[in-house]
Each structure stands twice: as structure tokens, then as C-alpha cells.
Amino acid sequence: MEGLLHYIWANRIFPATEMRTTDGRLLEILDVGQHNRNQGPDFFNAKISLDGTLWVGNVEIHVRAGDWFRHGHDRDAAYDNTVLHAVLTDDAQALTHGGLAPAQYVLTVPDGLRARYEELSTEQDYPRCHRHVGGMEPMKMHAWMDALLVERLMERSERMLERIKHFSGDWERVAFIALSRSFGFGLNGDAFEMWAGRVPLQAVGRHRDRWEQVAAIFLGLAGFLEQPHQWPARSGLSDEVLRREWQFLSAKFSLPEAMPSSLWRHMRIRPRNFPEQRIIQLARLYHEGRCGLRSLLESESLPAVLSAFCASGLSEGSARLMVINAVVPLLYAYGIQHQDEAMKERALSFLEQLPAEDNYILRQWKACGLSVSSAADSQALIQLKREYCDRRRCLHCRFGHEYLSVRA
């Protein structure tokens, strides 16, 4: 309910009649202030008028006025500049740490707004707004989806930039880790990231033109040469040759010990998708120079990127996922750090050119009447589900806002 009160205040859903504080002063809301989602007062720098006198300060909102004391605001100097305490139930008078009594106002919740908020809060079907979202204006709908897409790319870019900081600005290393993690396709993502962090790229780079040696280092570090394997005939790899190369190169470069093979997951995975097969594909990309940072930054053609991934043995669908989950976030993060808008636009254009993913999340949104035509749309809707629907943040979602504001 407190979230609904925040929504009412932020969107100025106030009565048409004059507003008065609990002590009878005439109240005018000139500026609701800046919503604070962190610790401290709920709204900063609000402007109100009390009997014609301008007050500038913070606004605190509670369901019950007594929550002021239950939350300890009377002992916290951060609330001393509160000029208005807005509540649903007036059962106490707030007092600041300095002993002052801020003006208090009782908020009202329109019946229609309350009913629709409760409907969204208690609805069990997903998405909860399924009964009305299909009737929204297309322009508003796609404006929100555009914002969600940028939000998702920013979140992924932040994780990428955290890796950049961790590896002291080594974009080549970060690009390799990002691609490797995506080769895990979720199930083995963590193991691939751990493995990629152990691969000595400088040492491998000296033998990049030797296919068997690149494959030996990659597979050896992953722990897949500890037991005999039957490698695909098309790879041209021999278990005996790989073992010999691994022993030579690990001694030459003092390579780290192999990862425990128990870290890799094989259950419920088709043999062609086993992690050792994916590592062979990644080794092929590296050997042919198709997955380096420079080649990715210079690839302006999406078909060329997809073709490079498919040439390593990935299916077209898997290649698309690689672009969505690794290439696009990498390009976008690179564009942010280097203030390269063209790079960010290229990342967005790749998503717009790719067809939408096909999963249960998108099928449910399509059933509501939303148009999902590209990976840009599907990524936006995945962000919507994970960050808003799953967390029941309907009050912060433009679909939910539209529903509540139109019918309030």
C-alpha cells in the first residue's frame, strides 16, 4: 500500500477540492520533488505552500502516521528537513530528531485506483496486465519497450565494464570471457567463464596458427584430456596428438592445472552440445581469428558475424544467441566507455535485424496482443518480466501505470 501512496504522490492524484493539513492549514503542492528509491526521505526537494507560505524540503510517506516512530525517523537527523508527512491513516503526530512537528496530510486513494491496484497485486496469471495491455496505444507500448531494451543493455554493459575494471582495461580478455560464457548457453556458463579466465591468451597467441596446439591448450585446461575421448572426425583431432601437445605446451608455458572435470555439466545435454564440443568450436574460432576483439569491432555486417560463428560448427540458432548474449553487450559496453555512439547504434541494429527469440515468455506476451518481431523486442520483454513482472513492480511499469492512470 505504501508503494501505491508513492504512486499517488508522484503522479499528483490529489482531490479536486482544496487540500488541508491535519491541523487545518491550506495546502498546495507546487512540486512533488524527486523520488528517492534509496535510504532516506521518500521525496527530496519538494515545494509546498502552507497558508500561502512557501516551504521547500523533503516529503515522507507512510500508511500509518505512527510508522514514523516505528521506522525510527524521530531519531534520524536525515528527516529533520521533512516539510510534509503524507499518510493514509492519521494515528500520530510525527516529530523530527530536532523536536519539530512537520505538517501532516491525509492522502486519499480513489476507489477505482484502489480496485485496479488490488487486481494487479492479486492476479496470478502472467502477465498480470494481460486483460488490458493489448489495447494500449502502439506508440506508448513501443516507447516503453525501447526504454526497456536500453535498460537491459545498460545492465549488461555494466557487468561487462566491471570485468574491464577487474582485468585492468584488457578488452581482449573481456571479449574472450564474454564469448566463452555464452558458449555455455546457460547451463555451463559459469564453468566456461572460470575456464576462460585461466586461458593464457598471450601464450596461446604464439601458437594460434597451429590448430592442434590451440585445441590442446583449450581442452587441456578444461580437464578434457585427462580421460580418453573420441573427437569428431571433422575436427581432425587425435587424442594422442592432443595429449602430446598438451604436455609439451603446459611445460613450456607453465600453464595452470586443468579444471576438475566435475565442474562441467553433461546431464540432459545432447552429445553435440557437450562442453568439450563447444570448446572445440571456440578453439576453431580463435584459431581462425574470428573471435578476437578487433574482428568483432570491425564487423559491421551481421550476416558476416553469424557466418563466422556457423563456420565453427554452431547452428544458426546458436549463432544468433551468441550475438544477442555476447557480441551485442560487448559492442554496447565498448561504445559506452569510448563514447562511440556509432558502436552503440551498431549493437542496437544487430538486435533489430535478428528475429525474436522463441520462448514461453514471448509467447505469453504475444498472446496478449503485443507485436514481437525482432530480438530487440524480445530482449525488451525479457527485461520487463525479470525486472518488473517477477518483482511485482507494476507501479514502476508503464503498462501498469497506463492501466492505473486511465481508470483511476
- Is 96 in the same domain as 227? no
- Domain containing residue 227: 169-331+341-350
CB burial readout 376-394, b (16+ within 10 A) else e: bbbbbbbbbbebbbeeeeb
Residues 91 and 178 in one domain: no
Q: Which amino acid is at 39?
A: Q
Tally the C-alpha atoms within 13 A of residue 114's C-alpha that lie toward its C-beta. 8
Q: Same domain, yes or no, for 173 and 281?
A: yes
Please check whether residue 138 lies inside any domain of the structure: no
For residues 95 and 207, membership in a common domain is answered with no
Task: Look at the pTM and tell me if it is higher than 0.75.
Answer: yes
Element (H, E) at 112: helix 111-122
Cα→Cα distances 154→176, 255, 333, 351, Å: 20, 35, 8, 14
Contact between 275 and 192 under an 8 Å Cβ cutoff? The reply is yes
For each of the chain's 408 residues, which pLDDT tens digit applies? 888 899 899 889 898 899 999 999 999 999 999 999 888 999 999 999 999 999 999 999 999 999 999 999 999 999 999 999 999 999 999 999 888 999 999 999 888 888 888 877 777 777 778 777 777 788 888 899 999 999 999 999 999 999 999 999 999 999 999 999 999 988 999 999 999 999 999 888 888 889 999 999 999 999 999 888 888 888 899 999 999 999 999 999 999 889 998 899 998 888 888 999 999 999 999 998 888 888 899 988 999 999 999 988 899 999 999 999 999 999 999 999 999 999 999 999 999 999 998 888 888 888 887 888 899 999 999 999 899 988 888 888 888 888 787 544
User: Is 275 inside a domain boundary?
Assistant: yes
Domain count, the chain: 2
DSSP one-letter code for 42: S
Q: Are residues 176 and 103 in the same domain?
A: no
Helix ranges (DSSP H) in 291-374: 293-298, 302-311, 316-322, 328-337, 341-353, 360-367
Distance CA 32, CA 17 (A): 18
Same domain as 327, residue 184: yes
